[in-house]
Structure formats: C-alpha cells, structure tokens
Structure 1
Amino acid sequence: MEHIAFPSWPDVAARLIAVASGREMAETVIRGGIWVNVHSRELLPDHDIAIVAGRVACVVPDASYCTGPETQIIEAEGRYMMPGLCDAHMHIESGMLTPAEFSRAVIPHGTTSMFTDPHEIANVLGLAGVRMMHDEAMLQPVNVFTQMPSCAPSAPGLETTGYEISAEDVAEAMNWPGIIGLGEMMNFPGVAHADPKMLAEIAATQRAGKTVGGHYASPDLGPDFAAYVAGGPADDHEGTSEADAIMRVRQGMRSMMRLGSAWYDVESQITAVTEKGLDPRNFILCTDDCHSGTLVNEGHMNRVVRHAIACGCDPLIAIQMATINTATHFGLEREIGSITPGRRADVILTSDLTELPIELVIARGKIVAKDGECLVDCPHFDWPESARQTVHLGHELAGKDFEIEAPAGANTARANVIGVVENQAPTKALKCDLPVVDGLVEGADGVCQIALVERHRATGGVTNAFVSGFGYEGRMAMASTVAHDSHHMIVVGTDREQMALAANRLAEVGGGITIFKDGKELALVELPIAGLMSDSPAKDVAAKAQKMVEAMVACGCKLNNAYMQHSLLALVVIPELRISDLGLVDVRTFQKIPLLEPQT
C-alpha cells in the first residue's frame, strides 16, 4: 500500500507564489481570525490564511485578492488560528492502538504531527515490526514521523528481547522516507562508556543528518551526564526536576517535559522558564506514553498545553513548546510548527487560548475534525499473521511455576522488593522481611508477588519476585504482555493459582491485559498485534481499559494510573529496582541482585 502522496515545497512553489501574489486563486481561505504567530510570539487579529496544495501560501489582513468563486471559505469568526500541535516524543503502542487508530483518536484533539518511537514493537518483532509501524504511519492524513528504535534490548546483558536492533538496522532505516531520527538512547551507561554499538547507531543517524533522541534516566548530573551529552543525544524527556531541565538546556540539549497518563513532569520543570527565566525556545512539551482512556476522555497534546498554562506558563510560550520548538528541533521548521508561507497548512481554530477547546482542525489544508469528531479516514496497514501470533509460553503454566522457595529451615526471609512510586517512572529498592509458609516465601503487608514470564521463544521461563505499592487484596492476579521494554509477560498477584490463570488466558487470546479474582476473569483487553496493540477503535479499547481500571480498584488498588506502573516494572533502564527474564536488576548499578538476602 502506497503512503499518502503529499507534495514537497519544490513541487508546488510556483503555485504558492502565484496565489500569494494574486495571480492565481487559493483553494481554501480561512477568513477573519486571530493569527497566533509562534515565530514572533504575537496575536494578530483580523487575518486570513490562503492555502493551496495543502500548504500556506500567505497570511494577510485581507486575502480577498486571491479568493475566487471556487475557493473554499472557512470562517474563523474572530477565533484564534493556531498551528496544529506536535507531540515531540511518544510511543503509539502505549495507547494500545495501531498508528491508524491512534491518529483517529488524537486528530480531534488538534494533534497534527507526531514523532513516534516504536521501540515497543521492535522488542517483539525487530526491524520488520518497525517497518510495519512506519508504513501504517505513512498512510495517515496527518504527519506521523518515525524514529528508528535504538535500544532493543534497552540494557544488553540484563534482559532478553524477541529481537535485537543492530547498528546495521539503524543505518538501513535511515533511508526510509518516514524516518526522522534515532529513537531515545536508553542505554545511557553504554553511551557514557563509549560502547561501539551505541556510537555506531548515533553515527549512522548523524551521517544521515537526522536527530538523535535522548533518555538519561539518572539523577546523577556529574561526569556520566557530561559523557552522555558528548555522545550525541540532542534531547531528553527523563527529567523530573527544575535542576534537570536547566542542566539539559545549558548543555545544548532540548528539555522535553512530559505529561502522559502516568508522567507528571511538567509542573516540576517548567519553573526553569516561568521563574528562572531561561529561554523557552529550548523547551518542548510531549506525552511519552498515553493510554487509550486518556486519549478518549482527556485529550492529547491539547491536554499537555492546557496543563503547562495551568502551571503558570504564558499561553503563547506553551503553544510554542508544542509547535515551533518541536519543528525546529527535528529540522522541520520549514515544514510544520507554524502558520507561515510554505509550511503545511496544519491549523486549529479555538475560541480560547487558555482552556483550548479544539473546535476545528485542518491538516494539510483539509478539514479533518470538528467539535471532537474525526472527519477523515485513517487507513490501516494489513498486519500479517506473524504480527498477531506472538505469545509463546512453551507450556501451560500452573501455580507451582510461581513458587518462591525459602532457605531451608527459615521462618522468615528478607527479600529485595520493588517499591512502586505513584505518578513516577522510578521505583524504590526496598528490603522486606516476609513470612515463610510450608517452605515457600509469601507476600505480606502490602507486598505481593510479581513474575516475568518469557513469551518470545517459548522457553517456559518464569522469574519470580515481590512488589510493593499496589495495595491488592484477596485472591487476585493481573497479567499483561505490555511489559516495557522487552515485552515479555508481567504477572502481579496475591495468589499463585490466579497468576497461572491470568498468564494462560493471555496466551490463549494472543496478548493483552487480564485480571482474575477468585477464579473469575474481571476484565480483558485483547491486544492481538504483537501483544501490544489493537486495531479496534480507540473508544472500544478505552471502554475495555476502563473495565480493567475498575477491576484493579475492585482488587484493592488505589494508585493513580496503576496500569502504567504495572507495565513499567520490567523497564531495566530506570532506577531503582526492576525485574527481567534474567532476574532482579538494580538499575543504580546495572547489576543483577538476588531476590532473597543471605541469612545472617
């Protein structure tokens, strides 16, 4: 299937000039609005936008001189005409949707450009999976740019992925038409220590003249951070404090501040601009991870911009952070990010720059959404069977697969326990004394079991550990094949038999999320594509996801966006403690550690 043909500027330059000069008539004119100019940071009332071939020909006080009888007139009626919003860093798979359905979900929220890193599917299906995501992205009526994933596995030697991404893969992908750069470089120790593979990927990207994405998930801003910046990453979204944002910008990086379904990192960092007065053009807004419920019920980048404004940011500066700043960072300032001549005609009409109701969305010169309804087709890629059959457990699991044997003769056991932190990606490395019953270590006092079940190569492997913070009660289990980043299967539960039921259920349906309590399935979200995504509409997936959230609450969980926390427990590049198919990983030292401490 061919991607939607969109003419480049050289192809239509003569027409743009002819319309701007009045020698030809515009195809569309947006008339009588307030021009939100993100280059000069001004609001300019009583302007018209003339559009031809999907691009802006001119923005003038009166475009009647290039308006003909066949010109489509869109009345702005004094509303603000602002650029379509850009999400600078995001993972489509986190929405549990394909690129087509994700696009359909966010277009009504005013998102017209996305910079996506499909490293989730890369871990499951390798380069072939990235190409599938890229190809569906290229079909969409909005701009979906793809960053070639850099780290699969994210931490070599500490986890096993379904496929590995090589420097040769990166070099090959740099020639694909929709590739905009290298995805987040999560192996920050590898970069800081000049790992040849990491440097080869960065070099291939820079030779192609494209942007290297960063991911420095450490509070240490000393020599390791300096070494990481020297290694080439141009941005970072892992900052959580004002000091993080300031240091990144001072070192020549763009500080990407995220508000996703579980990430609330804008408020703590935007004070670098609002209070410390740093140049806002080096700050960018993004979502990173948004699940379908957030998209359907709360919004996408419009939600992030509203939040930044609520945190004290000037509305025009917040809009810059979600438009022109992003475009400039990726070398696309002449294509997107502003309403100026030659750029793609991506325009939002809104009556309020603070509350930001998205009343009309225009992408590439066409009306694509109005009053919350998507008005265009978002074409689907023909996903092959190889992408739909990806859960291979090796054998049917039973309760005994989740048993944790205690040291001989012990009545209690001191365990290293993963401590979940609400609304944050980092966890805490805890030590808890747990009871021993019939020779097996049991959870207690808010501590339940967690297991990482290998699902790529049918090894039958199960890694068992403990996690604290979910508050689960009774006999329950939750299983998910969304388990960043290697995407094996994570099972969390208070009862081993329920854990086996949940794991086997996901093998049966080809992946997704399920919750069992007392032998009954309370919720199921089927994610048949790579065990990560559904090609159903976002509202349908969101409805099932809402039942999942309600089931978690019914099992005693009170954490905000607890599902996102669940899915990140195997992310072995974010401190402090994680689980992988190879064991417990202390991400402060990037070393495997034992589950149970030696008896003294």
Structure 2
Amino acid sequence: MDKELFRHQIEVAAKRKKAALVIKHAKVMDVFNQEWIDADVAVENGKIVGIGEYEGEQELDATGQMLVPGFIDGHVHIESSMVTPAEFSKAVVPHGVTTVVTDPHEIANVSGVAGIRFMLEEARKAALNIYFMLPSCVPAVSFERSGATLKAKDLKPLYDEKEVLGLAEVMDYVAVEQAEEDMLQKLLDAQHEHKLIDGHLAGLTDRLINVYRTANVQTDHEVTTAQEALERVKRGMYVMLREGSVAKNVKNVLPAVNEKNARRFFFCTDDKHLDDLMAQGSIDEQVRMSIQEGLDPFLAYQMGSLNAAECFGLKTKGAIAPGFDADFMLISDLHEVKITSVFIAGELVSEHGEYLPSVDKITPNSSLMQSVHAVDVQEKDLTLPITDHQKMNVIRIIPNQLETKLEQISPSGSDGQFTSDIDRDVLKIVLVERHKGLSEIGIGVVSGFGLKEGAIATTVAHDSHNLIAVGTNDADMIKAIETLKEAGGGLTVVKDGEVLHTLPLPISGLLSDQPAHTVNESLHALHEALNETGFALDFNPFLTLSFLALPVIPDVKMTTQGLFDVRSFQHLPIQS
C-alpha cells in the first residue's frame, strides 16, 4: 500500500479525518467473541478502519438491521453454473457471497492452461472476490480421455498469479498413495510456494486419510457423514460442508460440528447450476439450513465467513474488524438470512436482491469455441450384446448424491441385445469421446434415472467432459448427441426425434457466452422439456448424469471404455 494512503487510513481510524463511509446504528456481529457490538463501523479505501463512534462523508442509517461478514464459498466450480465468472457474480452476490475459492478444473480438462487463463481474466471483471486453486488432476485419472493433460511443469508458472491460493482437490488417490513422480512434484511445488492443498477423499479409508495428511493435504469437501468428518478433523483437516445441486451433505455432516471443533468446518457449494443458485441461494442457504437444524447462529455465520478465510490464509477477510476488507452485508433477519444490501470493498454491490455493477461483455478466446470433435454415432455403435439369464452390472443412482451403487440385475432385451426397460427404470447410458475424434463410445446400463420417454445429453460430464447421454431408445440418444455436436456443446432434451430444448454452451462445451438471465431462462425451459419425458423425480437429472462420468467417486461410473469400478479401480464388463 502507498505510504500516504496508509497514513490517511490511520488518520481516519484515529478520528482526525472523516471516513468515506460509516454504517450507523446496526448491531455488528463479532465472529471472534460470538457476540453483538452496538457501534458504528467506519470504512475507508475498501477497508474497515474503526468500530466505535465515527463521522463519515457518507453515513448509512442501519437502524434495526444487523451487520455481518460477507459469506465465503470455500470450494466451487464456477463452470457448473454454466456462465462466466462475471456473470456468476450476478447469481451469488445478492445472496451475500462476497468471496469464492474456485477450482477451474472443468475448463482445464477441456482447454488446458488456456482455459485457466480465460477464467482468471474473466474473474478480474467481477465485483466478486474470486480466488483460484490450480487443478491437480487433469485428467482425473491416467486412463481418462480429457482434452488436455496438465503436468507439474504446466501448473508451476500459474502460482505467480496473485489470485492463486494453492493446489486444488487432489482426487487421484492412487497417484498419491504410490507417490507417483508427477503427483509428488505437484504436491511439493505447492508446499514450496507456501500454498494450501485441497483434498478429495471420497470413500477413502483411515489409512488413506493418513497418506493424504502426510502429503500435506489440508481440506476435504467429499465428506458425507458426521463420522467421516470427525475422522478428518481428528487428523488435523478442515472439512467443508457441501450443498450443491446434486451433492447435498449439510444435514448429514452437521452433527459432527460442536463448539469445540467448529473452527475446522466451513461451507461450500462445489457444483451448483445457475437456476438453483438464483432460486435457492448459495452459502446463505447452508447457514439458514444449519440454524434450522439447531446450530448456534453465531457458529453458522462464523462457518460461513471467518473459518474459510482462515483456512485459505485470507487474513483480511471473514470478519467485521479494523484492518479487514469491507466485505459485509446488512440483514434484517438473523435466522432466515434476509439480506438487505451487500458491500464489497466498501462499495454497495447489491440491494434488495438486485446486482448493481455493470458487467463487461464476454470475450472468449476463439480457441475455446471449437471444442466438440466427437465422431458420428450410428445405431450400430450403440448396440449392447447381452446373454439371457446372466445378470448385468448396473449403475444404481442415489438421488442427490455423487456416489452410486453397483447392482446386478436380470437383463431385458431382444435378440441378444439390451434395450431400455422403462417399467423397471433401467436405461442405456453412453459416453462419447469428444476432444480428439477418437472412436471410443462407452456403453453401460443405469437404474433409477426416471425417464419415461426420449433422451437427454450433455457435454458437461465431470471431469473429462466428454459427451454423455441417457435415454429410452437409441434413435433419440443419437439425435441428442448430434444436436450437441452442432451446438458446440451444451445440454439438450429430445423426444420422438424432436429437439424439445437445447442450452448451447459454446465456450469449451461448458460455458455460455450469454448473460446470466438468458441462461437462467434457458434452464427453466430445459426443465419444462424434461416434464415431457415423464421425468418427475426429486433430483437434477443433468447434474446427476454429468457426475456418472467421474471415475474417482464410488462405487461405479462410466468412462469412454465402459463401466468402471472405482473401489477396485478397474473396468467392468456388462455381464461377468
């Protein structure tokens, strides 16, 4: 900071000069002592410079309201909102989120370093504070067919970017356990740069938790039970309670939180669609839910702000105190988190749910706009031979969870070929390589999806983001695949050979080049189209479908080579 500016701030703190902004008559939340303060809050040059009695050039009367720290999302993939970072701000800032820590590994899996740099550049256009963790596993595992491969040498120069806080979720547990050379170098590079390392410990044993901690991994957001959370905290980890569009873990993990260990917990959304963010909220939803479940409100707000800041070394965020950034909000109801206004760096950025800053036009790198290179798919490519009276290996969906179950069920089909069985809700699922035009089409069977007619498809298929489709018949699945090839990526619903609705995602097949409100409207149209397929279950089918391609979360998922057993770490035949 410039010396004269520093001197000026001290002058304001000492009350020798007026502050630029003073919030008066609010009840101020002290997240350190967990109590209320009746005092003015003075802001100068984006910083809080005093709590007490102050005069300001601008004075805001906040009688009857509470002043609380802005929320921090500790782990989010902005790409899951399907909009660019600046447009993402429009969705989350009105919900009190002033800072996020993002992992751009979705776009990195498609477009490599160019994709990461695009996200960095777009993030700088946002009012929202956006920090980055560098993707550690591109591809997620060595046999995946991603659009890019990032080695330690590719990541190392990116640590020079001021927004980069560390190494993102380390999900290739085999590479960690075996101390494979490049993984070892990535971990060491992060440590040498004094950066944080995020974990991804889905379904791992205590032995592997020990391995991860020895590798200096400090966080995990894949916790689904209170017992898992306590095992990680016992070993010195931070645990993120996650509530996304698919993975909804807050209520199950919350019983692990108490007054003694609460500082080791904070919130994240991980993957959440834009329409869900706008309608349900972000971290505010998790704070509200936690209070409803009986957590002390001070602990809930502390978990929504200070704890994440401390974990990531954001020393000037997460609290209302002198020397901290003026990222805060005024609320009218503590338990319901009713937000009146949101400030970032002392500037009013949202009022009564309206996002106020202007947003620069999206300028995607042209190299990111041509990312779908899938082969043409014929009906013969989707045939799935089966033997009568021999059970099939099937993916069983667990609604609103990323994990699945491996089931064996009796086949249905004709002439030795599998056909979808709508009565038993057993459908064909395919994963088409879309980055290099390889003739690889993985075919499997999924149970519990709930489609009665037609097919859906998307190029959002974690983490390698190939083209995935599920349907009641091959013709509609092929139509859906061809539709997304023509659109350059996206999400689509097809029935009886007719495209009911498509949301194009031309930026790396993951992001729209349109404003947030346009994408939100298109998502609503997709859900209306889904109703025509007979889908009526209580989960997001597109996000559920996208995670069926992630072979690092148990029990069984899809790859372009077919079914994959995550626990045994090997591919499975349909029948064995």
The one-letter code of the counterpart of 1:546 is H
Where do 1:227-238 residues align within 5 Å? 227-238=211-222
CA shift digits 1:75-94 (9 cap, x unpaired): 21131000111000010011
How many residues get paired?
A: 573
Query: How far 1:413 sits from its partner (Å)?
Result: 4.6
1:293 maps to which of 266, 275, 279: 275
- 1:213 match: secondary structure: strand
Query: How far 1:520 sits from its partner (Å)?
Result: 1.3
Name the residue aligned to 1:389: 370
RMSD: 1.5
Where do 1:33-48 residues align within 5 Å? 33-45=26-38, 47-48=39-40
Pairing 1:547–2:535 present: no
Alpha-carbon separation, structure 2, partners of 1:135 and 1:213: 23
* CA pair 11-577 structure 1, distance change in 2 beyond 3 A: farther
The one-letter code of the counterpart of 2:391 is R
Query: How far 1:424 sits from its partner (Å)?
Result: 0.8
Pairing 1:400–2:385 present: no
Where do 1:204-283 residues align within 5 Å? 204-218=189-203, 220-274=204-258, 277-283=259-265
Name the residue aligned to 2:548: 569
Structure 1 stretches of 4+ with a deviation exceeding 4 A read 8-11
Gaps of 5+ in 2: none
Higher mean C-alpha deviation, range 410-419 or range 312-321: 410-419
The one-letter code of the counterpart of 1:373 is E
CA contact (8 A) 1:393 1:454 kept: yes
The one-letter code of the counterpart of 1:174 is Y
Alpha-carbon separation, structure 2, partners of 1:310 and 1:36: 19
CA shift digits 1:14-36 (9 cap, x unpaired): 22211001222211111111111
Query: How far 1:122 sits from its partner (Å)?
Result: 0.5
The one-letter code of the counterpart of 1:542 is N
Alpha-carbon separation, structure 1, partners of 2:567 and 2:548: 15
1:177 maps to which of 145, 162, 187: 162
CA shift digits 1:296-324 (9 cap, x unpaired): 11111111111111121111101110111
Alpha-carbon separation, structure 2, partners of 1:596 and 1:565: 24
Name the residue aligned to 1:455: 434
Higher mean C-alpha deviation, range 380-389 or range 253-262: 380-389
Percent identity (aligned): 37
Query: How far 1:9 sits from its partner (Å)?
Result: 8.4
Name the residue aligned to 1:440: 417
- Please report the TM-score for the alignment, with normalisation by the length of structure 1: 0.93
Query: How far 1:452 sits from its partner (Å)?
Result: 0.3
- 2:494 match: secondary structure: strand
Name the residue aligned to 2:7: 14
Name the residue aligned to 1:3: none
Name the residue aligned to 1:5: none
Gaps of 5+ in 1: 1-7
Name the residue aligned to 1:343: 324
The one-letter code of the counterpart of 1:177 is K
* CA pair 586-11 structure 1, distance change in 2 beyond 3 A: farther
CA contact (8 A) 1:412 1:441 kept: no
CA contact (8 A) 2:284 2:337 kept: yes
1:427 maps to which of 389, 404, 409: 404
The one-letter code of the counterpart of 1:235 is T
Name the residue aligned to 1:51: 43
* CA pair 225-103 structure 1, distance change in 2 beyond 3 A: same
Name the residue aligned to 1:309: 291
Query: How far 1:552 sits from its partner (Å)?
Result: 2.6
Alpha-carbon separation, structure 1, partners of 2:416 and 2:560: 24
2:175 maps to which of 171, 190, 193: 190
Name the residue aligned to 1:63: 54
* CA pair 142-471 structure 1, distance change in 2 beyond 3 A: closer
Alpha-carbon separation, structure 1, partners of 2:348 and 2:311: 27
Alpha-carbon separation, structure 1, partners of 2:477 and 2:378: 8
CA shift digits 1:147-183 (9 cap, x unpaired): 11111111112x1110011111221111112111111
Query: How far 1:255 sits from its partner (Å)?
Result: 0.8
- Please report the TM-score for the alignment, with normalisation by the length of structure 2: 0.97
Query: How far 1:259 sits from its partner (Å)?
Result: 1.0
Alpha-carbon separation, structure 2, partners of 1:367 and 1:294: 24
CA shift digits 1:215-253 (9 cap, x unpaired): 1011x4331221122111110011111111111111110
Name the residue aligned to 2:152: 167
